[in-house]
Chains A and B, each alone.
Chain A
Amino acid sequence: MTAAAQADGRRPTKPRPSLAVPLGLAAFVAITWISVSREFGINLDLGELAENITRGARILWREDDNPADRGLLSPNWVFLSQTAAPMIETFAMAVLASVMGCGLALPISFLVSQVTTPNRAVFAIGRAVLSVIRAIPDILYALLFVAAVGVGPLPGILALLFFNIGVTVKLLSETVDGVDPGPIEAGRASGAKGIQSIRWAVLPQVLPNYVAYSLYVFELNIRASTVLGIVGAGGIGRMLYREYGFFHWSNVSVIIVELFVMVFFIELVSIWLRRRLV
């Protein structure tokens, strides 16, 4: 039919335009309009924002006798020594939470992967629990754990732990879903059961990915642990929020520079290591 039409020199008929694109665009415009509107949304007014942008200037630079109050552009380096202890705490929280979280995530991932799950019930319940765990943001975990065990690094580590399990299990269980079934069959043929098959047929296949995910999660933890202190869960965030509360912008500036340097370099190292591994 089509060939005949082309032989006549006529063009093939254009495919009917899909309804999905205009519908999607309409939904996009509607949601955006509601979101920025004054009545139903967040009242985003670009004109007002442009006027207010000069308000930001007074936190960037100003004259003050107190070196802590001079603004973000003149960091008060004397303050640096006071930040050392909370910075170390931030880093230590991230390390401990990553190790524990990734350690726990490994067996859980095997429970909730289609390839290695012991039975359908464990798989279904595990997936449901994990989607709830992933739906709660790290800071809300921190709030709950601070209420449960008081302020300090302990609730912070716990919050990161739950956050880690959510991320690592999702990534790793999907990697396990995609392994080559050959080695598993070979293992089964030679009499391997359950854990043996996981240990010798699945684990070697996903190990490089697992190490890469662990490093990635460590990066996420470093970033997350810097703000947990805002709700009292240990680390530099507590000091950052306190200095912000006193409008000590020059001290805030020192902390921000430190955070930037730490996160930036850890990420560089981690990305380099991940590239070598996978």
Chain B
Amino acid sequence: MTVRERGRPEREGRPTKPSSAKRNAGFAFVLLLIAVSALSVNIKIERVVDLPSGIWLVVYKMYFERGPDWSYLGVSIEHMIQSIEIAWVGTIIGAVLSLPIGFVAAKNVSSGPVSNIFRQLLNGIRAFPELVLAVAIFIPIAGLGPVAGALAIGIHSIGTLGKLTAEVVEGIDPGPVEAARAVGGRWAQIQRWGVLPQVLPEIVAFWLYRFEINIRSAAVLGVVGAGGIGFIVQQTIVFGRFPLAGTALLVVILATILVDTVSGWVRRRIIEGVETRRIVDAEIEQPSLSSASAVRP
């Protein structure tokens, strides 16, 4: 542009190359960030060298020295079931509370300023990790145990679930809403008959998806005494009883994969219906994941 204005001949009409100054500045900033971080973290280099042997030793003690201790299987499964129950109850709490908040946070349902306030509220809730919520609020209220864990997971889940609900509601077809209004529906009736049927399948899929994430959170809440298998994994590792820890870890891995598989199957059934369910997994997972923009809490 500037070249032409000065009246100089353009080189065979080629467009000028877009400036890369912004991108270079971005790169420089990231590099600076990395350098500062590397310098500020206090890690001795000899510990990094010992790393592979240290990790191998733990894996060896857990699974190969005498094999995992199968007598611990019953206790581990019992605790893992409690973790799954914590995740289930937590997800229900999150789902029930996030549905109305998500509606109010959607711009097309409520007004601009109200929607903004609720959006920020949801962002704020998401900023507190489950463990912090459990330690600072719910263990003091409900005492040590799984109830505190379920409450912490429930409240934390409101953040993401509410945001996703709002996004789905904002993406609806306005036709049914107008139709409901045209036949004289009140606000609540419009939401119930014009909006909810359009968004419910996707929202229920999000709930299940959140349940999969919450399984992972519930598996660690025991570390602070909020119930579930995290407690026995921590105790066995801290006291060096690695064959027991190996069994418990195996139970966590298998149970998580099992729940993921079942829940993923149900989710696809809900979103795709029965007829199209044989489409390959990847094609279905992709859009729901990118719009969810959340794989983990």
Contacts and interface: CB of A to CB of B under 8 A. Distances in A.
Whether chain B is bound by chain A comes out as: yes
Interface stretch (A75-83, A188-196, A197-205, A252-260): A252-260
Interface stretch (B6-14, B142-150, B174-182, B191-199): B142-150
A263 interface: yes
B132 A240 contact: yes
B253 A135 contact: yes
Contact of B295 (A144, A171, A256, A268): A171
A59 B140 contact: yes
Given A132-B253, A240-B135, A145 B55 contact: yes
Contacts of A226: 129, 132
B36 interface: yes
B57 A35 contact: no
Contacts of A99: 34
B224 A260 contact: no
Interface in B247-272: 249, 252-254, 256-257, 260, 266, 269
Contact of A256 (B43, B136, B219): B136
B3 interface: no
A110 B120 CA distance: 37
Interface residues of A, number: 79
A89 B149 CA distance: 27
Nearest to B50: A149
A259 B285 CA distance: 32
Contact of A135 (B42, B150, B234, B252): B252
Nearest to A223: B129
B128 interface: yes
Interface string A140-181: 100111111110111001100001000100110011011000
B85 A89 contact: no
Contact of B82 (A18, A42, A95): A42
A148 B257 contact: no
Contacts of A137: 216-217, 219-220, 252
A42 B283 contact: no
Contacts of A89: 40-42
Interface in A19-48: 20, 24, 31-32, 34-36, 41-44
A41 B85 contact: yes
A37 B237 CA distance: 30
A1 interface: no
A49 B147 contact: yes
Interface stretch (B69-77, B86-94, B100-108, B164-172): B86-94
A158 to B, nearest CB: 8
A224 interface: yes
A178 B283 contact: yes
A31 B81 CA distance: 11
Contacts of B283: 177-178
Contacts of B47: 149-150, 152, 154
A9 interface: no
A231 B282 contact: no
Interface in A53-76: 53, 55-56, 58-59, 72
Contacts of A223: 127, 129, 297
Which interface residue of B38, B124, B147, B289 has the most chain A CB atoms within 10 A? Answer: B147
20 contacts: A24-B266, A35-B85, A35-B89, A44-B150, A59-B140, A89-B41, A89-B42, A92-B40, A99-B34, A132-B257, A148-B51, A150-B47, A154-B48, A158-B51, A171-B290, A171-B295, A174-B285, A237-B131, A244-B136, A259-B128
